[in-house]
Structure 1
């Protein structure tokens, strides 16, 4: 029961092999700089914690097919590989960013599914083509294996129209499917399931606010186990303040910048996605650097931290109003799991809503899922490490087994 999980980008392939009998990682790695003069294939093997070892190969990688064959060569290497032949892989799971309204769950990949992913390329022009490259290459190399598409957007397809519709002419939704889709769904689904386990109750009985904070950030309101609202929109630009993305801005900003700064739409889009957020406010987008700069008296770094955590707190309050009853707030991803200052400031002033953070628990870093709220907190607060690769592998198992969790 060894599953291969693939996350294919425009010039990279992230991969992981998981033994599903124990849900343990056997190998993980990255192919990068595909199509450039010099590429790199890195794999770390975990046949046992005492024998962890890494292999790095520097070579030109012409395309995704060459990259995937290099991965297979490493995985089947006689001295350090974890399989002897490709047939030892039982199934393959692919991360696909955008499923539009076509997919409400993970699905076995067929020609019809591939056509639907292609149809949604206008909604994710940078990601879906790269995801398709990974799918086509894997289907060619691993002939006959079941392959499953796991969509970032699928978890949010349970949102009601009042949450996913924009107040625009309705024809834009009917004809072009302009609406809020949400992303990071695999992460939100995973930590929600882990939180339900920690709460000791079925996910279907849990009301949760999951807060995914990394370079990309999103928040989801989960009612009785399903997503009913989320901060990201039609694209991954809406919502929270992110590393380089602005999050919420007035849509009329585009016209202002065009009229007063002479910027065209392409330049405005690049600014909002790559030069805004934390980076736009203080020139830094790594939260560790921001903390260091703020501690040294950098006022703009301190301001960037305040702007981000205020937006987080604002969305938490909004989602508490959406849900009414909240069992727990869950922090996850790079910042959410590792930054006690961001967590504390994001929850500041929410005591009246039943949120009572325990400062000592919040500061303690264990790398494990844990509760960081006080014993008498009506709304419990958790830090739960996300594991999107394992979440994808679990979805593969569900699809192959024919049972929806």
Structure 2
């Protein structure tokens, strides 16, 4: 099968236009544009529920060159991004003999629209300066005026509640029922590798829908609670804040990652804000303020905790700090056995500097 690219258009909310070649499905897609600086792990990125509603710019020069492997490199049951932008695209050719098929076939099967053969460095420099915004990709129309009309109907990520759209519909179990610990996971868009890390640490996991009544969660009798990552604006998730506040009253160990960090912060009175540009990549330096050590971390978020409110909160200790921009990367509560981090210690993809956080949480349940 020969991949014959056709023309495609990328139009940003501020009117900037880029021209390239189509990849994936021929069509049109709209979403919030953001860039990921990771050198590997594109399949894990595309299936991460935290990217729901977003169009990804892969800054690595070559994308698709090692193909696609199902199950082991998927972080959810389907692709969650709205579109993909890259420079050089390996269509039906890939080097890995264990791959199931090409990235192009993967995108076609999942109906993903994208664009390649454009200068991703130029795009990144532009949105770094102008800030995050919506965009539209089309390989079926080059009418800028009509594409602008479609783009203008796309809502801003700020104020959107998206976690309930990617959460499990029904509760499910993972791991050994005879495991030492019972862990309740509130699924706001949880990545599979997070759950694997808990199972490897002798946890029997029950995953609950994002909007499950707190009484149903508590009735299972878990030894601890995990608040997952996920997409959207934490400021639009009062229902989640209410649940987490109730769970904290039990004084059982509680751990949050990414969106879970933001929701835990909001549950103790700390606000969040939308960043000019989020953190997305595999090499973000974070300092552990408790140990003094620096960690290279995997990150994916567009919202952050308001620093002034965190530092002023008498029940909160700021535990981790981003060394690039001093944003807060972790907190712990002084009056409850609860802590959270803004980054992804399960690192799929990424370095494993922060795996100790899973051990720290399991030790709390012990």
TM more than 0.5: no
- Asked which structure has the greater CA Rg, the reply is 1
Structure number having the greater strand percentage:
2
Structure number having the greater helix percentage:
1
Q: TM-score by structure 1 length? A: 0.28
**Structure having greater relative contact order (Cα 8 Å, sep ≥ 6):** 2
